[in-house]
Amino acid sequence: MIESMEPLHVSEADAVRDFAAVLKHVEAGAEVVIERDAQPFAVVRSAAPVRRTISQCIALAKARGSTVTLDEGFTKDVEEGITSRSQPWNPPSWE
């Protein structure tokens, strides 16, 4: 589970010593900032966009203190959003 959206900062020495751990954090969706002399030196992140499961989204919302209840209307709205993705977007004209 993703514990935080903040980047993880590690020293260059720690990254070299346990690069497998760095990759494990990246795989979990974290961005890892490698520092040299306490200054950002490199950033390691997933090449593909992070995709979360619904259980990860719910856990993240709970971790942030959300008390929102997802009702049947929410499910309908999500389904309509997915269906409309195949249609071109025609924003309303403001003039």
The answer to whether residues 3 and 25 belong to one domain is yes
The neighbour count for residue 35, using CB atoms within 10 Å, is: 16
The answer to whether residues 16 and 59 belong to one domain is no
The answer to whether residues 59 and 45 belong to one domain is no
For residue 5, the model assigns a pLDDT of 62
* Half-sphere exposure at residue 2, Cβ-oriented, CA atoms within 13 angstroms: 23
pTM for the model stands at: 0.49
Sheet with strand 8-11: strands edge to edge: 8-11, 32-36, 39-44
How open is the CA angle 65-70-80, to the nearest 5 degrees?
A: 130
The answer to whether residues 3 and 44 belong to one domain is yes
Q: Under a CB-based contact definition with an 8 Å cutoff, are residues 30 and 2 in contact?
A: yes
Which CATH number is 40's domain given? 3.40.1620.10
Question: Each residue of 21-80: pLDDT tens digit?
Answer: 999 999 888 999 999 999 999 999 988 777 788 888 888 888 999 887 778 788 888 888
The answer to whether residues 43 and 57 belong to one domain is no
Domain membership flag for residue 67: yes
